[in-house]
Amino acid sequence: MGWAKRDVEDLTLSELIGVVQELHVFDETYQYQEWQRFAFLASVFANIFRKKGSKKYKPEDFIRKPDFKPPKLPKVTLSELIREAKMLGLQVPEKEVK
């Protein structure tokens, strides 16, 4: 993924930090999914060669639980969203949409 200055120059610092946090979570999730595949294969091989009556292996026996957590999103009220949308020049419906 190539980024140029024009891609981020209009972002505020908090928006840029949010983008970086999202990319970090995405990368951690991707890496965990890759390792999960190897853990599955390891459990298959371990179960092929295990002794009768011994424990059946699961992928979780070969990989730890993920240590990453998605970033906490700020709580935003509907009125704040409407105000932000109007500041961006978006049309906001006057009646509540159900």
Percent of the chain that is helix, strand, coil (3-state, to 5): 55, 0, 45
Q: What pLDDT is recorded for position 46?
A: 93
Running along the chain, 98 residues long, what does each successive block of 10 average in pLDDT? Answer: 73 80 84 89 92 90 76 74 80 68
Q: What is the pLDDT of residue 96?
A: 61
Domain boundaries, the chain: 10-69
**CA 2 to chain CA mean position, Å:** 20
d(CA 39, CA 34): 9
| Cβ contact 80:34 at 8 Å | no
Q: Can you give the pTM of this predicted structure?
A: 0.50
Question: Whole-angstrom Cα distance, residue 44 to residue 37?
Answer: 11
Please report, for residues 52, 54, 56, the alpha-carbon distance to residue 48 in angstroms, rounded to integers and kept in the order given: 10, 12, 10
Give residue 40's pLDDT: 94
Q: Output the pLDDT for position 73.
A: 67
